[in-house]
Structure 1
């Protein structure tokens, strides 16, 4: 069968000859061969009324004939722009703090020469968290959506590079910073420690350090569970169980939020609380959408499962700050 390809402005692009049993994948490959747009850049919409392109239906995976495509059907092509893999996006996002945090700690403030107990613990917690996320991205995560527009990368990086890497490090490692659990040792108004002194503080700081590590481990276990539910090179989904999933739909976000709450309590820095709020709101947006997908896709999905921080989820369904990774 022959289909006509147009842009939304009505400009004719080309005509494609397809097999009657062709799928969306076949359409994408044929268009790539003719017009040189790789499949990840393509979005296809079927329109019944050429005068009303806004009423089109986005084509899904599967046979085109089952979606109403026949001889001389008009298909709208949209170029999604240059794409970048979600895996590389996450690698770039998490690499920022891995370099920015040590930059402030060792170079900008030379905090390592006079670090308080809180500063030392917070530094290692940040490094452990983001190195863990990098390793998970490289070896654990499996994505149902392969790419995103490269133009959105700076927006995604803003969250971790600026709100966490720069904003938190600027205040946390500043020479005048005094943590809520630091003892006042040294001779200079209780702020600086003599080089001969070992930074000391309340045992509660070590307790919070251990608690955050536990939350990080729980978060890691949820990612392993999600990985094992999705075969390689597949978009299949299944109902997760264990490590918090029996109570919460998105336990991975629950442990992530718990980790950042613990971190904010440990350092008690305004920018850490701001980062916590922004990160929690974003994760709640993702959680709400995925929770609805679970309930729609699985008729036997446990109804008693709820969202993390369920009381703030309702107002978040209308807007999304950052594209949702799957």
Structure 2
């Protein structure tokens, strides 16, 4: 016997959506993704621009294939509110663009040293090493974006690409490159070899361990779903987001190589932002998994934050 159909009353929320249907009819055992498909088909809006919430309590209706309409509590004649989120862009595209900036800016500033700084003096070994480390870091980021990361949301507001890219292009790109490759940079002068070796070691450990945690996070989510598991393994018993911790360690390694104040400022800014994201994730884990989740005292830096 086939499941009964339910008719849902569709209401706009916020600015009007052209051609938004007044009602849609779906099977009660259909996935919630079908609600989005029906609305998008009639309104000619991208699924990713739509936010659907229950009219009764404002609870979000997720665009997923493993939750049925009946399981959400929606019944015949139930109301759903639909909001236009505005133009969207994929998370993957944003990540590619924001990391591409520093990946190109560092080599360009390095090669343009005679023009930018008015000097024909060759770059120092530490400046060359800093360039190599930065290129490796952001090339790794691009690789992970293309082949490792799975995103819980397909898109974000398109305007975010300017904010996200501006942060990376300016602070880890132009700011870091300009103050590193100049003739008066600390990296242009000899440094203690032991500190340089320590910096390279920290960078290598940080990058390798960061990649390992990203693989762990990737394997928590099955392809095509947004369902997550509880992360375990390297670093996850210590802090909420060891990927951020290892990221910080890698950049501390860069700072020990180039001794640039710009690098230190970038580390402080990055750790501050990553710490905010990590605490949000800690709260989400506690809410989502309850007693199954081992609560963390520190989100990103053990003993500190």
Query: Is the structural similarity TM-score above 0.5?
Result: yes
Per the TM alignment, residue 169 of structure 1 is displaced from its structure 2 partner at its CA by 0.6
Native 8 Å contact 2:15 2:84 kept in 1: no
Given the two structures, how large is their TM-score scaled by the length of structure 2?
0.85
Structure 2 spans left out of the alignment, 5+ residues: 1-5
Asked if structure 1 preserves the Cα contact closer than 8 Å seen for 2:40 and 2:47, the reply is yes
The reply on whether 1:120 has 2:128 as its aligned counterpart is yes
Whether 2:235 is the aligned partner of 1:244: answer yes
Q: Is the 8 Å Cα contact of residues 10 and 82 (structure 2) preserved in structure 1?
A: yes
1:44-123 map, 5 Å: 44-48=52-56, 56-60=58-62, 61=64, 62-109=67-114, 114-123=122-131
**1:120-178 CA-partner distances (Å, limit 9, x unpaired):** 11111100000011111111111121111111111111121111101111111112223
Name the CA shift for 1:10/1:157 in 2 (closer, same or farther; >3 Å): closer
Mapped contact 1:109–1:173 kept (Cα < 8 A)? no
Q: 2:47 aligns with which of 36, 39, 43?
A: 39
Q: 1:88 & 1:95 partners in 2: Cα distance?
A: 11
The residue number in structure 2 matching 1:187 is none
Corresponding residue of 1:301: 293
Query: Which secondary structure does the structure 1 equivalent of 2:23 belong to?
Result: strand
- Give me the TM-score of the superposition, normalised by structure 1: 0.80
Distance 1:46 1:232, change over 3 A: closer
Partner-residue secondary structure (3-state), 1:81: coil
- Separation of aligned partners in 2, 1:9 and 1:126: 44
Q: Distance in 2 between matches of 1:121 and 1:237?
A: 39
User: Where does residue 263 of structure 2 map in the other structure?
Assistant: 272
Q: State the Cα RMSD in Å.
A: 2.5
User: Per the alignment, in what secondary structure is the counterpart of residue 17 of structure 1?
Assistant: strand
Query: Residue 98 of structure 2 contacts residue 164 of structure 2 at CA under 8 Å; is this kept in 1?
Result: yes
- Aligned residue runs from structure 1 range 1-326, under 5 A: 1-9=6-14, 13-21=20-28, 22-48=30-56, 56-60=58-62, 61=64, 62-109=67-114, 114-179=122-187, 182-183=189-190, 202-298=193-289, 299-303=291-295, 306-309=298-301
Structure 1 alignment gaps of length 5 or more: 49-54, 184-199, 314-326
2:166 and 2:120 map into 1 onto residues whose CA distance is: 26
By how many angstroms is 1:65 displaced?
4.0
Tell me if the contact between 2:241 and 2:278 (Cα under 8 Å) persists in the aligned partners.
yes
| Structure 1 Cα separation of the partners of residues 155 and 273 of structure 2 | 20
The count of residues paired between Structure 1 and Structure 2 equals 290
